[in-house]
Structure 1
Amino acid sequence: MPIEILATKLAIPSLRMQGVPRLRLSAKLERGLNQRLSLVVAPAGFGKTTLLSTWFEQTTHAKAWLTLDPRDNDPLRFLGYLVAALQTVEPAIGQSVQQALQAAQPAASENLLISLINELHQIRQPIILVLDDYHVIEHQAVDDMLNFLLEHQPTKLHLVLATREDPQLPLARLRARGQLNEIRVADLRFSLAESGEFLRNVMGLQLPDQAIAKLEARTEGWIAGLQLAALSLQGQPDPSSFIETFSGQHQFILDYLLAEVLQHQSAEIQTFLVQTSMLERMCGPLCDAVLNQTTSQALLEQIDQANLFVVALDQQRYWYRYHQLFGDLLRQRLTQQANPQQLAGLHQRASAWYQQQGLLLEAFQHATAAHDYQQAERLMEQMPLHSNGNVSAMLNWLAGLPTSVLDQQPSLWVRFAAILLVLGQTSGVELKLQAAERGLQSLPVNLRNRDLLGQIAAARATLALTQYQIETIIQQAQRAFEYLHPQNLPFRATANWALAYAYQVRGERQNTNIALTAAINFSQQSNDTFTLILASIGMGQLQESNLELHRAAATYRHVLQLAGEQPQQIISEAHLGLARIHYQWNDLATTEQHAQQSLHLARQYEQGIDRFIVGELMLAQLKLARNDHVGAQRLLDQTEQLARQQHFSARFGEIGYWRIQLLLRQAKFAAATQLATEHQLLICQAQIALAQAKSATAIALLEPLQQLAQNWPDQRLQIELLLALAYAAQQQPEPALVALKQAIALAEPHQLIRSLLDHGSAIQQLLQLASDHGFNSPLIKHALIEFAKRQPSVQPQTHTLERLSERELEVLQQIATGLTDREIGERLYLSMYTVKVHARNIYAKLEVSNRTQAVARARTLGLLPHN
């Protein structure tokens, strides 16, 4: 029976007047012509046909097109259309096959195909043949015919298949032989730039970049999705609101996905798709658990091969997720088809599976989706608070619960308060703790409820710490120890950390060490990284106060390692500690780097947390060290204004201390005296007396403090240096040198050179006196060299050379050690380009042309010490 040929099936689809150029894909198709098969495979609406028709318009090769439909599953009909398509390029080809197909009993399809292949072998010009919509082919005999054609394909024929799913062809063999050119979803989806061009130039929508980015992300580059969104946007009075809510439930999207995708699937596949849509990601065992079946892996593989808007999440194709818009549609269908009990059951089974796998966050999320409050609470107790993902999920859930539910389960109130404290939020914490206590009053007294009372006390100790209520910290921490279960290590760690802070403020350093050691041990045993970080910072601060600067620096660096790549507010204290340490080592560049990082993190706390004040005071101290009095004044004014606005009265004394240091530099003794008296700063009063040449007054203030500070190395160092200066001012060299030697004994093991330099020329004379009396101290020698650099005499005596900046002097010192530009950059936190710029400036100012000459000239001028 003759086969009626429908001409439109052979026509190359016409292009829209204006489109988005896909030059990289056209080039890939062109490059693939030396291979047997080009496979363009993606779900509906990804522009397969448009890409190929655009390419056909551009390529110079002869080309034929065949759009397939379900009727082409008849092998002979398929062959007839195959010949007809080729005849649009070579009219004489396949005529014998056509005649055979018209016979009452056609020859076997393989024999006819052999005849066609032989004729194709004789043609002179290469032909590209596109078979569009090949996914409609389900008959094995047609697949076998195409496979036979590929196995014996003439060199002048290049075959292109456009399909929504992988065809039943030996793709792996073709791929291994280098005979397969593939374009898949990842290639076809629009990039952000292509999405913008499509929406603006093709669809005529003038949208801002932010709106385009949201649509691109929501559609995941799905071209049909973008087009349907654009159609929906036309005539919208508020495009921004529409884009915010755009989903697979919008009518155009819904109609398209239903018509083109979902309704074409079997009942089994549709049921699987809908019921697994409540999963953010899927694997065979998880789907089996949720659906109470054993065939999920095979179904997933079938769905993947059919390109049903699923995205593989790993190379092994074990985990999958649904395309966002397709997932929206499926979840809408699930809501329509399942009652609340059935939906809760799906989530509960998912929660149980995740819990068995040790994936507590996912288990918790499904328990909350099922409104299984008790299971969610049990899971929360196992989830560490320090994990960002855990904290966000728990906080969002708790914040959305009705008060009635929280009142019935007081442990939820406690968890709510603890999470807020972890996030550095104090507002509302006490109210939640009170609500938990009210709920516990009606419950029996047992181990669990006593432990909850201990947790409340530990939370109150932490809250009191943020408000500097020292006695409350101690009282609540001791109450926590009384009520907490012996195995509740995380809360015991928290209570010990808070207690350590109170002890440190009271000057009980031994008790501080005991409490911090306990906090570190408990947090390590319970894998509580958050409290481990807090306790380790406390230990670093204790080591600092004992002048164990190298140990403290190692502790702070360990804290940064514990925190990982996602900075948390709490590590601002570690950066601040490193800033203080590097300041003492006179490494001002590194000091500034850590101080800025500390300040950036501290500002992320909610209003009411004052940690940013300390960072700003560190920067003010740095400006004083660089003699930037104007900058220090501006920063101190700004810091004090913020402290007063937010009622951070606990910081007024520290601000006053650094104001006094600035006033002393400015010789404003009356204002300095007023501040020192107001804040009862005895050390500052002694400094002011020294500055006013009242050395006897200074000694009278310092000697009692010297006795009190015997067990406090940091305070002893400061007092001994001031006493040395006071005795020297009274022309008492012997007690001055005794005090200086005691200070050097404290400072030298850890190179606290800045403790000397900050006292200026007065200490310089005393250090020189000590050196002249045979006190051979490397720290004193180092300090005298630093002081010598500050003298005008160290600059070129001719005054014809320009003075080196502080940073240029630092670079020059590194050059003298023989470091490369890269090594200098790493040490000083500079780019190689910046190092080279500094080097060129140094050469110009010293009137030299290379490193060797620069170092020699610098030593001659006194800029560098002689070897």
Structure 2
Amino acid sequence: MTIPIISTKLYMPPPRSNVVIRPRLSERLNEGLHRKLTLISASAGFGKTTLVSEWLAGCGQPAAWLSLDEGDNDPTRFLTYLVAALQTIAANIGKGVFAVLQSPLSPPTETILTVLLNEINTIPDHFTLVLDDYHVIETKSIDDVLTFLLEHLPPRMHLVITTREDPSIPLARLRVRGELTELRSTDLRFTPSEAAGFLNQAMGLNLSPVDIALLESRTEGWIAGLQLVAISLQGHKDATSFIKSFNGNHHFVLDYLVEEVLQQQSESVHAFLLCTSILDRLCGSLADAVLLDPSTSGLETLAYLERANLFIVSLDNDRHWYRYHHLFADLLRQRLHQATASSKGDEGRGVAELHKRASIWYENHDLEIEAFHHAAVANDVDRATRLIEGKGMPLHFRGAAAPVLNWLESLQTAVLDARPSLWVAYASALVFAGKLNGVEQKLRAAEAALQGAELNDKTRDHVGHIALIRATLAVSQHQVETIITQSRRALEYLHTDNLPVRTATIWTLGYAYHLQGDRAAASQAYTEAIGISQAIGHNIITIMATIGLGNLQEADNQLDLAVDTYRLVLQLAGDPPLPVACEAHLGLARISYERNEMDAALQHGQQSAQLARQIENTDRFISCEVVLARLKLAQGDVADAAASLAKTSQLVRQHNFRHQMPEVAATQVLVLLRQGNLAAAAQLAQTHELPGSLARVHLAQGDTAAALAVLEPMRRQAEAKGWEDARLKVIVLQAVALHEHGDMDRAVQLLGEALLLAEPGGFIRIFVDEGIRMVGLLSEAAAHGRMPDYISKLLAECESGLRPAPPAKTLIAPLSERELTVLQLIAQGLSNREISERLFLALSSVKGHNQNIFGKLQVQRRTEAVARARELGLL
């Protein structure tokens, strides 16, 4: 599901026919185009938005516009609208980003911005992006987005920010670099000539120069104040007397003038202004729904307000959507609260009713996030609760986890206890936000609130949802029995129409079957989950279940099919990808390794590790590190592979990822065998009960009978369970063991069986990794005429892998401790004099050490010494 885009937020206010031309400011804005940022910062009523919109209309450069409101404090919503604004000038920009932003497991913001900036950089023309009313943003992470954006701004992009207060971004650094143009209150104030043009031409007054000068002095060129004065003067015959009696600072003047303006309006217009002030933007039908006054037409009243210049701004060219001047709206809301308090004796009740009506209108127009906002402001808990539950898809499943959590956190415990569904939604939203630590507490509170309640369809559904959340928590810990128990309980209690939660439950059940080794049941569950999730738009479950199918296909040795499935996951995960895409990259890394495509394996392995580390409380990066260690081992870098696995093993123990230890230990056994440390390899295989690894140890020890005794029951188990991957691995190892044992016929027979299983998937490393022993066995099979083309390819890969490295040179004498220290400083680029100062040695002594080092390394100069030392592992 996607966040609905309110298109009016993306409209640049159209030029006004009676605007005051301000060439001095337009020139400043034009000059700033070669810098990164233009900041227009001033208090309300200084014409910031009008200035920018009029300038852009005449500068001849494409522009994207985003009008910000308080709802944009959610980072996901902000980025969604940012991309939508950019798409008004380049339709294809950020399409992949949208899918990522709708997911609860979106990648870090910098990753998203990096992809977006790369796409922006493809726009051929210079353009401007305007963020209007940035002062409504109070979220630090959005300030961080803006900082990152400015730091890496493409050269053809210019950013304009209008705001009432300076944003929390490094403005000082931008000033020093010459990357900032600033317009502030002193710049924006009307000059006497501009004030005269505004009052007499734009507002249609006929004031004397003396009256204009007095007004300009009293208002200090404040545009909103002048506008209010002009509107008030339209109802006074003696303008001069009114101007002379006018005094006070901006705030008091504004209060007085708003009263003057409102008092001159009809009762119906006055009521319209007050009641619709609760809306961030309004149209005729929305205004009608809020007022519930059949005698007043919202459309006609909006048209009158625009003609009367009563602080209303058109948001589109069709004159359908409008908003009030922000300061005017603030004051209208203040008077609305005063009016409801005095008339009802209970401040806020009338305002809450207006918000409730707005909520109903938004819901009827399928804008449920906005509907929820007004219900929450109205403190209409029942309505907000129903909106959270959603029409078939909970609200926090659709990119609104942050506002839902914020509202739930504001409620008192008694309110939550009276509505167990809110406790359940609270826990579910926490899971979506990745905040797992407090989930169980909320679930227990939900269960306590449900105690004694009648067990009907609704309460049963709550019980089922609680079970699903517990199953999801168990998935992160690979707790099979808990997953199955809670998933089955969820399916037992969940309502049949609750498809989003039931689909998630089917996936958790499939995951548990997968862990148990029941691949048929897992495949059936994944397939069912994909079918339902695609139908209802539950993207994250579609991705997770598709990953599961790819794992099963890989395990069945259907590598081509698995590759296609993993690539489909990457498409679904968007660009930049969701962190869960690490599983697809990991699968592709394993398959690339098996096919001896080492560059591709390394690339996918590194991408998988990077994405996996973005997920909190996950062990997936462990499997990534194991694959990367296998790559190092295959390339002959045994020491690096051993060091990497030692670090990974430490992380497993540190994070208590015990279920990952067998995978790590099995690879460590391979390293120990390569190092010739058979005793340590045997101990590790026995400690972690790794029969395949133990068979390898027996082979290394020359005890082929013991190896065969271990492998035979492994093969029977794999065949009984239909585990094709395990069957292939054990058959290859059995063939090697039989060959070593002297049973050539049986060895060739089993190898032929393995070749038949492996050839369709393009397996290579499963044979090559057996080393020199496999060369003889393959040659024997070739002599028997078995699969000559495949064997020929495998023999070529084996010989390539076994080709000895160039003989390493050795030192004619070891370096002393002091010589090693000098060598390290040489490698750091220090001169002889710098080394003498660092080590408190005479310059002649340093030169002597240099000569000794060069002689022992058999080189002539510094660069050669450093290269030689690295080759020998001295640096």
The TM tier, using the shorter chain, reads 0.5 to 0.7
What pairs up with 1:348-387 in 2 under 5 angstroms?
Answer: 348-382=356-390, 383-384=393-394, 387=397
Partner of residue 540, structure 1 = 550
Match status 1:764 vs 2:775: yes
Structure 2: stretches of 5+ with no match in the other structure: 1-20, 35-43, 55-127, 135-145, 151-157, 161-165, 190-224, 226-247, 341-346, 807-875
After superposition, residues 453-852 of structure 1 pair within 5 angstroms as: 453-565=463-575, 567-606=577-616, 608-710=617-719, 711-776=722-787, 778-790=789-801, 792=803
What is the CA distance between 1:523 and its match in structure 2? Answer: 2.6
Cα distance 1:758–1:286, how it changes in 2: closer, same or farther (>3 A)? farther
**Shift in CA distance, 50/644, structure 1 to aligned 2, threshold 3 Å:** closer
How far the C-alpha of 1:361 sits from its partner, in A, is: 1.9
Residues 638/26 of structure 1: CA separation in 2 closer, same or farther (3 Å cut): closer
Partners in 1 of 2:608 and 2:129 — Cα distance?
A: 44
Q: Secondary structure at the match of 1:579?
A: helix
State the TM-score, normalized to the length of structure 2: 0.61
- Report the CA distance shift for 1:253/1:731 in structure 2 as closer, same or farther (over 3 A): farther
Contact 2:389 2:395 in 1 (8 A): no
Note closer, same or farther for the CA distance 1:428–1:784 as it changes in structure 2 (3 Å cut): same
The amino acid that maps onto 2:291 is L
Secondary structure of the structure 2 residue equivalent to 1:517? helix
Q: How does 1:174-253 map to 2 (within 5 A)?
A: 209=170, 223-224=184-185
Cα distance, 1:410 vs structure 2:
0.6
Hey, what does 1:282 align to over in structure 2?
Answer: 282
* Percent identity (aligned): 42
CA distance in 1, matches of 2:512, 2:167: 60
Q: CA deviation at 1:476?
A: 1.8
1:249-298: CA deviations, max 9, x gaps? xx998679769999768747776566444334433332332233664345
Counterpart contact for 2:480–2:512, Cα < 8 Å: yes
Kept after mapping to 2: 8 A contact 1:46/1:223: no
Question: Could you tell me which amino acid in structure 2 is paired with residue 584 of structure 1?
Answer: E
Q: Secondary structure at the match of 2:549?
A: helix
Q: Post-superposition shift, 1:745?
A: 2.0
With over 3 angstroms needed to count, the CA separation of the structure-2 counterparts of 1:388 and 1:255, relative to structure 1, is farther
Corresponding position of 2:214: none
Cα offset for 1:452? 1.5
Contact 1:425 1:605 in 2 (8 A): no
C-alpha contact 1:44 1:261 (8 A) present in aligned 2 = no
Aligned to 2:453: 443
* Greater Cα shift, 489-498 or 325-334: 325-334
1:394 Cα deviation from its structure 2 partner:
1.9
Shift in CA distance, 46/706, structure 1 to aligned 2, threshold 3 Å: closer
- Equivalent pair of 2:506/2:529 in contact (CA under 8 Å): yes
Report which stretch shifted further, 313-322 or 724-733: 313-322
Q: Distance in 2 between matches of 1:310 and 1:652?
A: 66
Contact 1:45–1:224 (8 Å) recurs in 2: no
| 1:685 positional shift | 0.9
Q: Is the Cα–Cα contact under 8 Å of residues 585 and 752 in structure 1 kept in the other structure?
A: yes
Deviation at 1:670, TM superposition (A): 1.8
Alpha-carbon contact 1:460-1:476 (below 8 Å) kept? yes
Aligned-residue offset at 1:752: 2.4
Distance in 2 separating the partners of 1:624 and 1:270: 80
**C-alpha displacement at 1:721, in angstroms?**
1.1
Cα deviations by residue, 1:468-514 (Å, 9 ceiling, x for unpaired): 22222222222222222222222222222222222222222222223
Deviation at 1:681, TM superposition (A): 0.8
Structure 2 residue identity aligned to 1:756: F
Cα distance in 1 between the residues matched to 2:627 and 2:316? 47
Contact 2:359 2:373 survives alignment (8 Å)? yes
Change (3 A) 1:545 1:49: closer
SS, match of residue 400 in structure 2: helix
- Please state how far the C-alpha of 1:450 moved relative to its aligned partner: 1.5
Structure 1 313/577 Cα, relative in aligned 2: closer, same or farther at 3 Å?
farther
Could you tell me which amino acid in structure 2 is paired with residue 471 of structure 1? Answer: E
Q: Distance in 2 between matches of 1:256 and 1:564?
A: 53
Conservation of the 8 A alpha-carbon contact between 1:572 and 1:598: yes
- Separation (CA, whole Å) in 2 of partners of 1:452 and 1:27: 56
RMSD (Å) for aligned C-alpha atoms: 4.5
The residue that corresponds to 2:30 in the other structure is 24
Deviations 1:780-834 (A, max 9, x none): 3333333344465999xxxxxxxxxxxxxxxxxxxxxxxxxxxxxxxxxxxxxxx
- Give, in angstroms, the shift of residue 530 of structure 1: 2.3
Q: Counterparts of 2:753 and 2:260 in 1: how far apart (Å)?
A: 88
- 1:322 to partner: Cα distance: 6.0
Q: Is the 8 A contact 1:277 1:327 kept in 2?
A: yes
Name the CA distance, whole Å, in 1 between partners of 2:23 and 2:717. Answer: 93
Is contact 1:189–1:222 with CA below 8 Å preserved after alignment? no
Higher Cα radius of gyration: 1
8 Å Cα contact 1:473/1:499 also seen in 2: yes
Kept in 1: contact 2:695–2:711 (CA 8 A)? yes
Higher relative contact order (CA 8 A, sep 6+): 2
> For residue 453 of structure 2, what is the amino acid of its counterpart?
L
Q: How many residue pairs are counted as aligned between the two chains?
A: 604
Cα distance in 1 for residues equivalent to 2:351 and 2:750: 78
Give, as a single letter, the amino acid of the residue that structure 2 aligns with 1:723.
Q
Per the TM alignment, residue 431 of structure 1 is displaced from its structure 2 partner at its CA by: 1.9
**C-alpha spacing 1:686/1:414, structure 2 compared with 1 (3 Å):** same
Which amino acid in structure 2 is aligned with residue 678 of structure 1? T
**What is the CA–CA distance in structure 1 between the aligned matches of 2:605 and 2:510, rounded to whole Å?**
24
The CA distance in 2 between the partners of 1:473 and 1:189, in whole Å, is 48
In 2, Cα distance between the equivalents of 1:753 and 1:695?
A: 24
For 2:351, the equivalent position in structure 1 comes to 343
Relative distance call for 1:650 and 1:207 in structure 2 (3 A) is: closer
2:546 partner amino acid: S
Cα shift at 1:357: 1.4
Aligned to 1:800: none
Query: What is the rounded CA distance, in whole Å, between the counterparts of 2:131 and 2:545 in structure 1?
Result: 50
Q: 1:345 to 1:740 in 2, by over 3 A?
A: same
Distance in 2 (CA, whole Å) between partners of 1:493 and 1:27 is 52
Amino acid aligned to 1:714: D
Task: Return closer, same or farther for 1:392/1:558 CA change in 2, 3 Å cut-off.
Answer: farther
Deviation, 1:324, is 6.6
Cα shift at 1:712: 0.2
Matched residue type, 1:663 = L
Q: Describe the shift of the 1:448–1:679 C-alpha distance in structure 2 as closer, same or farther (beyond 3 A).
A: same
Please give the alpha-carbon distance, in whole angstroms, between the structure 2 residues aligned to 1:542 and 1:388: 29
Task: Say yes or no: does 1:296 pair with 2:304.
Answer: no
